[in-house]
């Protein structure tokens, strides 16, 4: 069984992890920059790449020491080389190449979005029945996939505008709350009444597997601030009204995600559903999917948001299939797994 060092730096988390045999996570270190970007209510790319540069070596060292390993014990280095912010990606990719070259070990370039799907396998012994429908829902992506195998993944639908996590972050800002918005609204929604407000569900054409969240976001804006979007402020809402908006918004998002999964599962005769990405931590989504008529696989909580264990795990599978990368591997901003 191979011991893989994974490195992740696509956006605003600098992460390193050691995974054995593709599933057993020996260490999972994440240095988050959320506090740095919070005052801008979103990620500032130049600040992110500078923070990655400061964090990358200590994070890798910590991942090795937490796994009680030395650098030489690693069999291969896996790195997220796409998609992401170019300045951020370059830090992880450059570190991974330097390590692979100096250790004389294989380098494995891993697609970050593909790895979010694989994250459901970490720490698990069971197999996912295939074919499966995959959903990656995060701050950067909302996309549906048909999985014939872990390495045979086809994009079948994606968002036409905002990602669902991005909509959470923007609605949190509209309500005058913090960043990232997902966990904050998820908590508020628990004590809110989803029926207190009705927000639209963009299901698009009857057979569409695509998503759209910008209309929902604008509808929340108009509800909170008035028709012109600036007649009132979020301060006019009391705490219960904010909870109700959170609950109604969350229910609208979850309804759309579940309906698109249902359509895809039916169209591809899927035997299971795999859901990854930051929004897969959402309690409303997990609750709604608990009634789904197929087995549903979510990642364990530490592997929902960006992490390097999923990069090392999928890296192991790629290594087993001879899919290693040359040392001139380039960072790429887009994914073949995203339209
Ligand atoms: O996967 P991730 O860490 O980064 C990207 O690849 O984008 O996802 C971060 C996103 C943020 O938009 C955050 O608000 C959202 O995931 N998120 C959640 C929850 N936890 C994180 N959204 C809804 N409910 C949650 N519990
Ligand atoms: Zn991600």
- Do residues 42 and 332 make contact, with C-beta atoms less than 8 angstroms apart? no
Q: Please indicate whether residue 9, judged by its CB atom, sits closer than 6 Å to ligand 1.
A: no
pLDDT for 179 equals 86
Q: Please indicate whether residue 8, judged by its CB atom, sits closer than 6 Å to ligand 1.
A: no
Pick from 279, 307, 311, 334 the residue to mutate for probing ligand 1's pocket: most ligand atoms within 8 Å of its CB: 279
Ligand 1: nearest atom to the Cα of 276: 1
How far is ligand 2, taken at its centre, from the CA of residue 36, in Å? 18
Residue 34's pLDDT band, with cuts at 50, 70 and 90, is confident
CATH number given to 3-120+303-320: 3.30.420.40
What digits encode the pLDDT tens for the residues 105-164? 999 999 999 999 999 999 999 999 999 999 999 999 999 999 999 999 999 999 999 999
Sign of CA dihedral 48, 51, 53, 57: negative
pLDDT for 231 equals 83
CATH 3.30.420.40 location in the chain: 3-120+303-320, 130-299
pLDDT for 171 equals 97
- Do residues 312 and 78 make contact, with C-beta atoms less than 8 angstroms apart? yes
What digits encode the pLDDT tens for the residues 297-312? 999 999 999 999 999 9
State the fold for domain 130-299: Nucleotidyltransferase; domain 5 (3.30.420)
What residues have CB less than 8 Å from 46, skipping those under 6 apart? 87
The C-alpha atoms of residue 102 and residue 99 are separated, in whole angstroms, by: 5
Region 178-189: what's the mean pLDDT? 95
Structure tokens, 153: 């993944």
Q: Is the pLDDT of residue 339 over 70?
A: no
Q: pTM, whole model, 2 decimals?
A: 0.95
Return the closest-CA partner of residue 109 out of 74, 75, 78, 152. 78
Which residue's C-alpha comes closest to atom 18 of ligand 1? 182
Ligand 1: nearest atom to the Cα of 165: 12
Omega cis (within 30) before 268: no
Structure tokens, 69: 């390993």
Q: Please indicate whether residue 84, judged by its CB atom, sits closer than 6 Å to ligand 1.
A: no
How far is ligand 1, taken at its centre, from the CA of residue 327, in Å? 32
What digits encode the pLDDT tens for the residues 190-206? 999 999 999 999 999 99
């Amino acid at each position: 069984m191979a011991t893989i060092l994974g490195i992740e730096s696509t956006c605003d988390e600098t992460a390193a992890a050691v995974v054995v045999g593709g599933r057993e996570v020996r260490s999972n270190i994440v240095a988050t920059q959320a506090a740095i970007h919070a005052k801008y209510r979103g990620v500032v790319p130049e600040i992110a790449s500078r923070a990655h540069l400061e964090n990358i070596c200590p994070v890798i060292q910590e991942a090795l020491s937490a796994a009680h390993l030395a650098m030489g014990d690693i069999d291969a280095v896996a790195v997220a080389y796409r998609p992401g912010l170019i300045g951020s990606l370059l830090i992880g990719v450059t570190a991974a190449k330097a390590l692979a070259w100096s250790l004389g070990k294989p380098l494995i370039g891993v697609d970050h979005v593909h790895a979010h799907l694989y994250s459901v396998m970490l720490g698990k012994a069971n197999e996912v029945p295939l074919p499966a429908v995959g959903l990656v829902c995060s701050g950067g992506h909302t996309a549906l996939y048909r999985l014939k195998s872990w390495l045979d993944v086809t994009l079948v639908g994606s968002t036409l505008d905002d990602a669902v996590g991005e909509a959470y972050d923007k609605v949190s800002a509209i309500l005058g709350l913090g960043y990232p918005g997902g966990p904050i609204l998820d908590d508020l929604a628990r004590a809110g009444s989803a029926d207190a407000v009705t927000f639209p569900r963009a299901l698009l054409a009857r057979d569409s597997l695509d998503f759209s969240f910008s209309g929902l976001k604008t509808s929340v804006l108009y509800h909170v601030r008035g028709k012109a979007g600036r007649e009132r402020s979020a301060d006019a809402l009391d705490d219960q009204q904010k909870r109700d908006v959170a609950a109604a918004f969350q229910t609208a998002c979850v309804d759309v995600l579940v309906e698109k999964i249902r359509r895809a599962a039916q169209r591809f005769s899927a035997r299971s559903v795999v859901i990854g990405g930051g929004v897969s931590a959402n309690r409303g989504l997990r609750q709604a999917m608990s009634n789904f008529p197929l087995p549903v696989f979510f990642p364990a909580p530490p592997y929902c948001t960006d992490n390097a264990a999923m990069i090392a795990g999928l890296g192991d599978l790629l290594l087993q299939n001879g899919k290693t990368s040359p040392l001139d591997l380039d960072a790429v901003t887009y994914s073949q797994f995203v339209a």
